[in-house]
Homo-oligomer: A and B are copies of this chain.
Amino acid sequence: MKSETRQQEIIRVAAQLFKEKGYSAVTMRDLAKAMGIKAASLYNHINSKQDILNAIIISLAEEFTDGMKQIHLSNASCIDKLKKIIELHVHISSKNSYGMASLNNDWMHLETQLTYYKKLRSDYENDFKTILKDGIKSGEIVNIKPDVMMFSILTTLRSLYIWIPKKEDFNLQELSNSLSHILIEGIAKD
């Protein structure tokens, strides 16, 4: 395990600041201060503020789209695929809760990579919707508009980053299981 480069450290610290105030409200001086150096010195390691945002968002978006593709192509049942999706979100969000904030809230500030990001997100959502439609067809899940179901589940999963760092005390597998129960079987008794 190679130790963190200075560039990686900058990107990691930037993600923390972006989570607090958003990309636009964080200045290169803020970032430099958090790194213990002057703003100008940052430019020995990165090309621009925009490049930092690209690095944070694109790698995460690719991780989600790749993970979803594998789940979609597997032979599991619809319900099991949904459980795998929940695990995917819990796993990535726990590894990188800071980056998840930028992925959710600052993607619109991407410039050169904006189109690519939108394609990744669209591929992800299309796979998700297909899984739900297949589940309706096979009778595994209720016949409610798949758009509403996807919206409901996905917004919960996309917000996990807000919540996971406060809950380091308890087991991530336990969180996955609780979420699976709530999102799939609901909260009503019987």
Residues of A within 8 A of B (CB): 20-22, 24-25, 79, 105-106, 108-109, 139-142, 144-145, 148-149, 151-153, 155-156, 158-159, 162-163, 175, 178-179, 181-189
Q: Which residues of B contact A105 (CB under 8 A)?
A: 22, 105
Among B140, B153, B158, B178, the residue within 8 A (CB) of A188 is B140
CA of A184 to CA of B184 in the docked complex: distance in angstroms? Answer: 10
Can you sample 16 A-B contacts with CB below 8 Å?
A: A21-B109, A22-B22, A24-B24, A25-B109, A79-B188, A142-B187, A144-B178, A148-B175, A149-B182, A151-B159, A151-B163, A153-B187, A155-B155, A155-B158, A155-B159, A186-B186
* A25 and chain B: residue at smallest CB distance: B24
Q: Which residue of B lies closest to A143 (CB)?
A: B189
